[in-house]
Amino acid sequence: MKRTIATAAITVALTLPTSGWTEEAEHSGHGTHAAGELSAPGNAVKHEMRLLDAAYKNLLDSILLDTPEAIEPPFHEVHRAKMATEKALHAGKVVLPKNGDKLGEFIEMDEAFHGKLKKLIGAARKKDRKGIQDSAHEILDSCVQCHTRFRK
């Protein structure tokens, strides 16, 4: 009986439509994002990180729901935000909260990170489940390493 109920609950959860979900709806209740903040960045790095957060959560959902075709689109937003971050870096407008004197290392880590995102997109386009999962782990490890090094 328990197995039947669990199977039914999982089936219902997996068949619920996700097309009505928006980034704003996903972030509501988190209490960390003001209305319109995602579309009007004040800090290029923070804006990119918010978009990355949403894209990574979508990645996890896509892995669980086996919808690799849904992985790529949010990462296009991240890539566009990366361009703004690069402009801010070159203009000297980026101040790292920790190890601010290691900006060159930050830039190297960021380039390597975006290379991992390209690898993920390639795996998603091929519908390579193992490649997607491996990339998701590599990306998360990179996030943790960067935050440990440069975030308070």
pLDDT digits (tens, 9 = 90+) for 70-125: 999 999 999 999 999 999 999 999 999 999 999 999 999 999 999 999 999 999 99
Q: Cβ(129)–Cβ(92) under 8 Å? A: no
pLDDT band for position 152 (cuts 50, 70, 90)? confident
Range of the domain at 63: 41-150
Among residues 139, 121, 132, 16, the alpha carbon closest in space to that of 66 is found at 132
- DSSP secondary structure letters along the chain: -HHHHHHHHHHHHHHS--TT--HHHHHTTSSS--TTTTTS-SSHHHHHHHHHHHHHHHHHHHHHHT-GGGTHHHHHHHHHHHHHHHHHHHTT----SS-GGGHHHHHHHHHHHHHHHHHHHHHHHHT-HHHHHHHHHHHHHHHHHHHHHH--
The pLDDT of residue 5: 43
How many whole angstroms separate alpha carbon 20 and alpha carbon 3? 30
Residue 1 pLDDT exceeds 60: no
* Residue partners of 91: CB distance under 8 A and separation at least 6: none
pLDDT digits (tens, 9 = 90+) for 41-66: 579 999 999 999 999 999 999 999 99
Q: Would you say residue 108 lies in a domain?
A: yes
Angle between helices 103-126 and 72-90 (to 10 degrees): 160
Q: How many domains does the chain have?
A: 1
pLDDT tens figures, 6-23:
344 344 333 333 333 333
What's the pLDDT at 27? 35
Residue 16 lies in a domain: no
Residue 17 lies in a domain: no
Q: pTM for the complete prediction?
A: 0.71
Q: What is the pLDDT of residue 12?
A: 36
Spatial separation of the C-alpha atoms in residues 94 and 86, rounded to whole Å: 9
Which CATH number fits the domain that encloses residue 56?
1.20.120.10
For residue 62, tell me if it sits in a domain: yes
pLDDT number for residue 78 = 97
Whether residue 36 is predicted with pLDDT greater than 60 in this model: the reply is no
